Structure formats: structure tokens, C-alpha cells
Amino acid sequence: MAHDDDAVSFAGTVSRLTEQGWDVTTLCFYGSWKSDDNQRRKDELQKAAAIAGIKNLELVDVDIVNGSDTVAKPWMPVPYNRFQEYFKLDTIRYIITNAIFKYKPSVIFTLDDSIGGYGHPQHVAVSRCVNDVCRLFKDTVDFPVRKIYQAVFPHSQTENIVGNMPAYRSAKKIYGVDGMPNPDVYVSIADAGEKKKGFMCSFESQKQNIKKIWPYYNWYPAWIYFGIFDKEFFRTLDVKSL
């Protein structure tokens, strides 16, 4: 993940997996542009990870954006052909590669590599780097990753929730897409609603941002909220086909 609260998108699925005995590791970048609240955010992620049963945390103090202190609106989309100048792509790939060979995951969860949910270029960059690493090493004998699960929303849900966000409207034009990639699988998370809400509420400092994607999540009991939003949707990529 580019940011710790990005994991909210698949927290219900992860909670179900850990209950079934899966070992889950979270890799997250912490850049200097938000260094003042990095420790608070790390503490919040550790609390969230405990709720979801996440075993390992790789909290990487690396700024993935070149000259991030000069970027006025880092959440606004950047054209793909400018990623090399805008992001430290080799550094991101190096860190992801080391984590893969250290923890040997069979599945990687991330955001989509087309629009990054709502247009945030850091989401897109990290997801594309995951693809790059898997593409590079997929034929290596001991490479463990078999599937990439990119968290997405169905098109109608995307438009209803983020359709009016300036970043999203701009990203559709800049990236030449109609929204997030279409999901091809979903996971029922109704039974994991309490854990997902606890996970989300752990990020107290990010409440305003989370509410933009998950409106009113903090108002309703989990059994009501996740009785309605009872699925997490994914676009799946077969690593061998990359």
C-alpha cells in the first residue's frame, strides 16, 4: 500500500483469511511529506492490524515521490508517462521485491493499477510496481506469488461514491479510463463486519478521508452497515499471465 488506510478496502477479506489460519503481512510506505503524523499513523495501523489478525508489518520510511515537499496536491493524478520522473519507481520495486522474497506470499492485495481507486497517483504507482516485480520474477523457480487481488468497486458504486471528486474526474481523462477496472470476484464479509469496522475506526486521524469512500461508516452499527455493504470486490490478476 502507498498509505496505511488503503488497507480498509480489503480489511474484511483479510480478517476472514487470518481467522482461517493465513499469515498476512502489510507493507506500507511513510513519506516525509507527512512525517509530522507518521508515528500516530503507525500506531493506528498497529491497532488495526491486531484487530484483523495481521501477523507482520513492514512500515517503510521512504518517500516514494521525488521532491514531495514541492508537490501542492499529491492526490491529483499524474500521467503514466511521467511516473518515472515523479516517483522513485526503482526504490518501490526494490522494497516490494525484498518483501516478497522475505515473506513468500502466494497472494498480494493492493489497489487497482489503472486509476488507484479515485485517481491518487501514488496508489497507481505502487500497484504498477507490484505488477512489474511479479512480471519480472514470475518464471523464477522459487517465486511464490500466484495471484494479485486489486480492490475495486462495481462501476455504479464507484460513480455514486467518488463520481464528483475532482481527482476522480481528472483521472478518468488523464488515464483514459471509465473508472476502476471491473471486478471479477467478490468476497462476502458480513461475518467480518465487526472487525472491519474496528479496523476502520482505528485510523482516527484519517476519519475524514475514509468517510469520503465509506460514508457514515462511523455512525451505524457494524451489523447494519456491513449488512448492506456486505461484499468486497476484486479484479484478479494471474501472475503467470502478466
Among 230, 222, 169, CA closest to 200? 222
Which of the residue ranges 30-44, 81-95, 137-151 would you say has the lowest mean pLDDT?
30-44
158-217, pLDDT tens digit by residue?
A: 999 999 999 999 999 999 999 999 999 999 999 999 999 999 999 999 999 999 999 999
CATH number at residue 98: 3.40.50.10320
Among 5, 37, 68, 26, CA closest to 212? 5
Residue 71 CB-density burial (10 A; 0-12 exposed, 13-18 middle, 19+ buried):
middle
Residue 71 pLDDT class (50, 70, 90 cuts): low
Identify the domain containing residue 152 by its residue range: 4-241
Number of domains observed in the structure of the chain? 1
Per-residue CA distances from 225 to 45, 164, 231 (Å)? 22, 23, 11
Q: Average pLDDT of 76-89?
A: 95
Residue 133 pLDDT class (50, 70, 90 cuts): very high
98-127, pLDDT tens digit by residue?
A: 999 999 999 999 999 999 999 999 999 999
Residue 37 pLDDT class (50, 70, 90 cuts): confident
End-to-end CA gap in the chain:
20
19-34, pLDDT tens digit by residue?
A: 999 999 999 999 865 5
- Which triple of cell numbers denotes residue 129? 510496481
Q: How many helices (H) and strands (E) does the chain have?
A: 11, 6
Q: Is the pTM of this model over 0.75?
A: yes
Residues 6+ apart with CB under 8 A from 162: 117, 118, 168, 212, 213
Instruction: Label the pairing between strands 107-111 and 185-188.
Output: unpaired
